[in-house]
Amino acid sequence: MSNHSALNTFGRSGNPLIRSDIFSSRASSLGEKMTLQGAVDKTGILLFLTVMTAAISWNFQGPMMGAISALGALAAFVSGIATFGFWFFFVGWIVKPRPHLAPKTAPIYALGMGFIIGIMSEQAEMMFPGIVIQAVSLTFFVAASLLFAYKSGLIKPTQNFLLIIFSATVGIFLTYIANLVYSAFTGTSFSFLTDNGAFGIGISLFVVAIAALNLVLDFDIIEQAHEQGAPKYIEWFGAMALVATLIWLYIEILRLLMKLRSR
């Protein structure tokens, strides 16, 4: 038997536990490219995790669940910042995006956000019965409609589109932060955010529109990463971005419906 055929038969190591084919399969898995199906699967997994923890926080109320939810929210926040980064005006990036962390941070984010939306949904459902199913249905209706518009080429995200949506998103984010600080000192929120008048509903509609258009950017990230043969972990990154926007869209639709039903 020649040395090469011996290597092929027994592997590079004499130890059968560390045969070369095991290493080669490990190496090939590291070089794997992302697929659209992989991104779909990961999105499904993350949504399942979100719904699971949302169901837990919906059904088990109390101080213990409040503490777990607060911990979940903190974990989701840290996971989100670690993966997507954090950009600050005039200073630039403080935390750079790290897509390679997504396989670890995405499930943590989904589980943490599940606790938050479980509590929010339960409170909304107590006040307005049937509102949660309406909000969930409208969220997926908006997502499916925009996905169709994107895939068919009706909506074409460009650099200008990105700048407008990004600016509007940062504006909304800063308004929410300012509201949080304001309510911490005064005990009340900005009236235009909670008001159920025409102006308040208009603001809510604008936020829903911006959240929905963020979905188009997420679809583009997944599509382009797939075209360019991005590594496998981008499936988790794309899925995490998509689930984060879906959760945001769901919360905004829920708030809009609550304003409409309280009129």
Partner 1 sequence: MSLSTLLFAILGIISFLSFFFLLRYKASSKQTDRTNRIRWSSYFSYKERKGISQTKKVGSDGDAEFRE
Stretch that binds partner 1, among 21-29, 120-128, 177-185, 191-199 (CB under 8 A): 21-29
**In the complex, minimum distance from the CB of residue 75 to partner 1, in angstroms, rounded to a whole number:** 22
The pair of three-digit structure tokens given for residue 223, joined into one six-digit string: 């599509």
Q: Are 204 and 194 in contact (CB under 8 A)?
A: no
User: Which residues 6+ apart lie within 8 Å of 155 measured at CB?
Assistant: 146, 149, 216
Stretch that binds partner 1, among 19-27, 170-178, 180-188, 192-200 (CB under 8 A): 19-27
Stated as kind and residue range, the H or E segment containing 67 is helix 63-84
Q: How far apart are CA 245 and CA 251, in angstroms?
A: 10
Token pair 């790290």: residue: 98
- Residue 42 is a binding residue for partner 1 (CB under 8 A): no
- Residue 48 is a binding residue for partner 1 (CB under 8 A): no
Q: How far apart are CA 257 and CA 115, in angstroms?
A: 21
Interface map 148-177 toward partner 1 (x if CB under 8 A): x-xxxx--xxxx-xx---------------
**CB atoms near residue 156 (< 10 Å):** 10
**In the complex, minimum distance from the CB of residue 141 to partner 1, in angstroms, rounded to a whole number:** 4
**In the complex, minimum distance from the CB of residue 32 to partner 1, in angstroms, rounded to a whole number:** 10
- Nearer to partner 1 by C-beta: 8 or 188? 8
Q: Give Rg (Cα) of the chain.
A: 22
Binding site for partner 1 (CB under 8 A): 2-4, 7, 12, 23-24, 26-27, 30-31, 36-37, 39-40, 43-44, 85, 96-100, 130, 133-134, 136-138, 140-141, 143-145, 147-148, 150-153, 156-159, 161-162, 217, 219-228, 230-231, 233-234
